[in-house]
């Protein structure tokens, strides 16, 4: 039985934020996703500042003219990479079966574990976004911060709605969003062989901090027999 999805509605991107000469919205969306995917390859290797527009065009399989048909600046590309990360995360959570779980604590536990698994799989993407988006120009940065509040912190707010955490809900939602990024930002100092253990212990740590103890008969994903 499916239950209402806990995933928050996300506002569509501001159509005026990434300037594109193309007038076909669907084609523009496809091409901008192609740009984001190609940009990740070169951004991860060289960083945002050292990457040139020419290198971005080559990585995206486009000419300079074609690239500028769908963006107007390198900041646009960085913003598209952020949107790409958010889209992948939402798709991952949609496949985690959260809407099939009636128990709100189990949904929270599954979402915590699923998000950490996703961040581990896309470690380079998260590390890049969390270290480089500070260089965005103000209009892009404002949209990123608003999207983070609505789509990331908003998810944890919604998942906490059916529970009674020991902390203020707003504080709890922001702490969860912060703590889950810890392995990405500090992973260099953690034993990679303990990855699964670290995941389980981080989820358990969050639940204990919220006053929601992990039940011993359940795994970190919240599955029961």
**Mean of the per-residue pLDDT values for the chain?**
86
- pTM for the full model? 0.84
Which CATH class, in words, describes the domain spanning 20-71?
Answer: mainly alpha
Among 2-6, 33-37, 78-82, 205-209, the minimum mean pLDDT is found in: 2-6
Number of Cβ atoms within 10 Å of the Cβ of 9:
10
Q: In this structure, which topology does domain 1-17+75-225 adopt according to CATH?
A: Tetracycline Repressor; domain 2 (1.10.357)
**Would the pLDDT of 221 be above 50?**
no
Instruction: Please state the domain extents for the chain.
Output: 1-17+75-225, 20-71
Helices 104-121 and 195-209, axial angle in degrees (round to 10): 140
pLDDT of residue 11: 46
pLDDT in tens, 169-189: 999 999 999 999 988 888 878
């Amino acid at each position: 039985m499916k239950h209402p999805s806990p995933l928050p509605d996300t506002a569509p991107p501001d159509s005026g934020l990434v300037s594109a000469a193309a007038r076909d919205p669907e084609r523009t969306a496809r091409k901008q996703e192609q740009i984001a995917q190609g940009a990740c390859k070169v951004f991860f290797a060289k960083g945002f500042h050292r990457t040139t527009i020419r290198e971005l065009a080559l990585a995206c399989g486009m000419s300079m003219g074609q690239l500028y048909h769908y963006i107007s600046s390198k900041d646009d590309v960085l913003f598209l990479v952020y949107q790409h990360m958010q889209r992948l995360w939402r798709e991952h959570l949609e496949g985690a079966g959260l809407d099939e779980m009636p128990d709100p604590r189990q949904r929270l536990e599954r979402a915590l574990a699923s998000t950490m698994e996703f961040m581990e799989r896309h470690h380079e993407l998260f590390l890049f976004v969390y270290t480089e988006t500070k260089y965005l120009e103000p209009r892009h940065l404002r949209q990123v911060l608003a999207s983070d509040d609505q789509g990331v912190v908003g998810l944890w707010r919604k998942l906490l709605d059916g529970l009674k955490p020991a902390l203020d809900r707003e504080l709890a939602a922001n702490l969860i969003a912060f703590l889950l990024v810890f392995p990405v930002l500090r992973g260099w100092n953690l034993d990679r062989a303990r990855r699964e253990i670290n995941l389980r212990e981080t989820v358990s740590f969050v639940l204990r901090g919220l006053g929601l103890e992990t039940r011993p008969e359940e795994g970190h994903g919240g599955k029961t027999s």
